[in-house]
Amino acid sequence: MKEIVELIGSGKLAGHSVIASMTDGGEVRKALFSANELVHCTSGLKFFKDNLDQLTNQIKTTGLYNIEGKEVFCEVVEEEPELVVCGAGHVGAACIKLAKFIGMPVTCIEDRPEFAEIAKKAGADRVICENWKTALDKIEGGKNIFFLSLQRAHAIDQDCLERILRKERAYLGMLGSAGKIRILKANLAELGVSEELFDTVYTPVGLDINANTAEEIAMAIIAQIIQIKNTDLSRNKAFSNEQMDAVLNGKDAMMLVTMVRKEMASPREPGTKMIVRSDGSKIGTIGGGLAEAQAARISVEKLADVTFCSELIRVGENDAQNTGMICGGVIDVLIERI
C-alpha cells in the first residue's frame, strides 16, 4: 500500500489512473494503473495483466466491478480539487477560510501586499503577490481546478476572466451585479470571448440563499463549489493529504478502512477512507454513526492480531436496522493493515 500512496503523491501518474483491489481467499491483491499501463502490483500479476484493457479503459467511476467472475473494487484517482482565489478582500478571505475548513487546497492571487498577508492568515496554502496577468500565467488549468474572481474593480475582473476562460477548469465564479456582468460581457466580446464561453461563468456567484454579509456570501459560494465538486463521483484523490502523510511517515501500525459498497442512506460514497490507529483515533471519516464506530472498533481489535492483513466486512447492522434507526448506513468496508 505504501508504494501505491507514494506513486499517487509523486505527481508522476499520467492521465486516467485506477487502483484495483481484489479479495482472493482473504488476501487483498492490489494494482495501480495509469495511462493504460500497469505501474504497480502487490500480487495477482497475471489477473491484472490479462484484464489490463478493462481495468484502464472501461473503469470510469469508483465502485465494485465483476471481472472474470471476481469482484474487484476499482477507485478512479484524480488530482485533488484545488481552489484559486483571485482577490483577498472580505469575501475572498472568507472563502479561503471555508475552503480550508472543507479540506480544499487554496492558492490566492493578490497584488496588494497587505491583502496578501490577509490571505496567508486566512490559511491559503500558496499566495502569489504580483500583477494579475503574470500571476495567472503561472497557474495551470485542469479539470479539478476551481477559480474565483472576487475583485475590487471591473477592470481587474476582466483581466482575470480573459485569462481564466482560456484555461481548462472545473468552475469559474465571479462576484457581479447585473450591470457589471453586462459590461464585462460586452468588453470581453470585443476581445474575442464568445457569448457561449462567457456564459460558462457562474455569475452572480454562489447559491441563492439571500446572503448579505461577506461570510454569508462566502458560504453560498463554497456551497456551490461543493455541489459541483461532488456531482462528479470520479473526482477522487483516494487519500487526503493527512492520510497520505500518515501512510508515508507513520511509525506505528494502522488500519486503512475503505468503503466499497453502501446500502441504506450512507452519507459518504464508495472510495471514502478512514485510517484507524491502535488507540482508536481516526484520520478521516466513512460517514460517522454506527457503521463508522463498528469499523473503528474492529480495526483496533484486528491491529492487536499481528497475523491479520486484510478483510472485507459489513458494518452498520444491528437490531436497530429493522426499525430504520441506522445512523451512518449499512456499508461494506475493506480493512487493511498499513
What is 252-307 written as a DSSP string?
S--EEEEEEEEESS-SS-TT-EEEE-TTS-EES-SS-HHHHHHHHHHHHHHHT-TT
List 30's β-bridge partners, or say none.
21
Whether residue 17 is predicted with pLDDT greater than 60 in this model: the reply is yes
Does the predicted TM-score (pTM) go above 0.85?
no
* pLDDT score of 325: 46
Would 236 be classed as within a structural domain?
no
What is the grid cell recorded at 170?
Answer: 472545473
Quick one: 133 and 221 in the same domain?
A: yes
CATH number, domain with residue 166: 3.40.50.720
Cβ-proximal residues to 249 (8 Å cutoff; 6+ apart), any chain: none
Would 154 be classed as within a structural domain?
yes
What is the grid cell recorded at 193?
Answer: 470571448
Whether residue 263 is predicted with pLDDT greater than 80 in this model: the reply is no
Q: Which of 213, 231, 249 is the last residue of a domain?
A: 231
Condensed to tens digits (0 to 9), the pLDDT of residues 57-106 reads 888 888 889 998 888 999 888 777 899 999 999 999 999 999 999 889 99
Give the orientation angle of helix 241-249 with respect to helix 2-10, to 10 degrees.
130
pLDDT-derived band at 213 (thresholds 50, 70, 90) equals: very high
The chain-wide mean pLDDT, for the chain, equals 88
Domain that holds residue 326: 241-337
Instruction: Count CB atoms within 10 A of the CB of residue 83.
Output: 27
* pLDDT score of 323: 43
Whether residue 309 is predicted with pLDDT greater than 90 in this model: the reply is no
Q: Summarize the confidence of residues 225-229 as an average pLDDT.
A: 93
* pLDDT score of 132: 87
Quick one: 221 and 98 in the same domain?
A: yes
Quick one: 101 and 72 in the same domain?
A: no
Q: Summarize the confidence of residues 140-149 as an average pLDDT.
A: 91
List 310's β-bridge partners, or say none.
336
